[in-house]
Amino acid sequence: MAQRIDVKDLDVFYGDFRAVADVSMVIEPRSVTALIGPSGCGKSTFLRTLNRMHEVIPGAHVQGTVLVDGVNLYDREVDPVAVRRQIGMVFQRPNPFPTMSIAENVLAGVRLNNRRISRSDAADLVESSLRGANLWKEVKDRLHKPGSSLSGGQQQRLCIARAIAVKPQVLLMDEPASALDPISTLAIEELIAELKNEYTIVIVTHNMQQAARVSDRTAFFNVTEAGEPGRLVEMDDTRTIFSVPSQKATEDYISGRFG
């Protein structure tokens, strides 16, 4: 289910502007990788290239390779739609479909696969996904209410339930808790710790404590000045990054906010 991701010499462009340069990293299966770095250094940009969501933005393109279990995501024969069905994404702002009920939201991705699932299978899947996202207890009595009737934190967990309902191999999260209160944040962090047993998770966060708490490996991105591309400064075990980083820039960034 979980798969290893191999990024090699990746450049990302918006039109002529090179936003991210020279990224190479390995993301291990069944682990949580945190991407940290100052605003504008290209974390979101890089994350979106991992399931080809960058292609949604006009003019955005990449150079380099991303191997998922040995297959290059950017190969001509690879269908971006198929990629996104295997590599799920959770966005910074919760985005449940407002026209769908809570249950329909969870099933949205499954229905896309054109799988005709029976009513009872669908109900089971809704329950297991919502349980997986720690939301079941709160919504089990109102599965047919609109998804937008939930609180922000609940909506975000609904989005996670929607993402894991299709049983992806990798889950990408772009600041999933940045719009949430501490309790919802904690719920999401606990959830990430559980999901790690089954999925490969990459999470972007501005919250150093969060990165330290949830991740196994941490990658620090930096950008020297506006107009320059963002680069991967270093990547290491989270504990190492937060105690004895090998680069001065990493130490500055972490201590600036951390100590």
Partner 1 sequence: MSGQRLQAEAEPELAPAPLSVRGGGHDRAGRVFRWLATGSGVLILAVLAAVAGFLLLEAWPALSASREDLAAISWIPDDGSLLGYVGPLVFGTVLAAILALLLAVPVAIGIALFISHYAPRRLADVLGYLVDLLAAIPSVVYGLWGGLWLAPKLQGVWGWLSDNLGFIPLFEGPAATPPRVMMTVGVVLAVMILPIVTAVSREVFLQTPRLHEEAALALGATRWEMVRMAVLPFGRSGVISASMLGLGRALGETMAVLMILSPGLTYSWALLMAGRHQTIAANIALQFPEANPLGVSALIATGLALFVITLLVNMAARWVVSRRAAFSGAN
Query: Among Mg ion, partner 1, ligand ATP, none, what does residue 41 contact (CB within 5–8 Å per kind)?
Result: ligand ATP
Strand order in the sheet with 217-222: 71-72, 60-68, 5-14, 17-27, 230-237, 217-222, 32-36, 200-204, 170-174, 87-90
Joined together, the tokens standing for residue 46 give 């890089």
3-class secondary-structure state, position 182: helix
Q: For CA atoms 110, 94, 171, 140, give the dihedral sign.
A: negative
Helix (H) or strand (E) holding 212: helix 208-214
C-alpha distances (whole Å) from 109 to each of 6, 45, 177, 228, 246 are 26, 23, 22, 37, 42
210 binds ligand ATP (CB under 6 A): no
Residue 134 or 222: which CB sits closer to ligand ATP? 222
For the chain, what's the residue count? 259
Among the listed ranges 38-46, 71-79, 80-88, 105-113, the one in contact with ligand ATP (CB under 6 A) is 38-46
Candidates 11, 14, 85, 108; binder of ligand ATP (CB under 6 A) is: 14
40 is a contact residue toward ligand ATP (CB under 6 A): yes
**Which does residue 88 bind out of Mg ion, ligand ATP, partner 1, none, counting CB within 5 to 8 angstroms by kind?**
partner 1
- Residue 158 contact among ligand ATP, partner 1, Mg ion, none, beta carbon within 5 to 8 Å by kind: none
Q: Which of 57, 82, 193, 244 binds ligand ATP (CB under 6 A)?
A: 57
From 3, 45, 49, 222, residue interacting with ligand ATP (rule: CB under 6 A) = 45
Closest distance between partner 1 and the C-beta of residue 134, in Å? 20
CA gyration radius for the chain? 18
Q: Does 3 bind Mg ion (CB under 5 A)?
A: no
Nearer residue to partner 1 within complex by CB, 108 or 186: 108
Q: Which is nearer to partner 1, 192 or 254 (CB)?
A: 192
Each residue 145-184 as x (binds ligand ATP by CB under 6 A) or -, in order, gives ----------------------------------------
Structure tokens at 108: 């949205």
Instruction: Count CB atoms within 10 A of the CB of residue 181.
Output: 12
Q: Token digits for 5?
A: 């991701």
2/90 with CB nearer partner 1: 90
Q: How far apart are CA 204 and CA 193, in angstroms?
A: 15
Nearest-approach distance from CB 121 to ligand ATP, in angstroms: 38
The answer for 231, left when phi > 0, alpha when psi is -120 to 50, beta otherwise, is beta
> Does 109 contact ligand ATP by CB under 6 A?
no
CA distances from residue 176 to 101, 208, 220, 228, 253 in whole angstroms, order as listed: 21, 14, 18, 27, 21
By the rule CB under 5 A, 44 interacts with Mg ion: yes
Per CB under 6 A, residues contacting ligand ATP are: 14, 17, 19, 39-45, 57, 230
**Which residues form the interface with Mg ion (CB under 5 A)?**
44
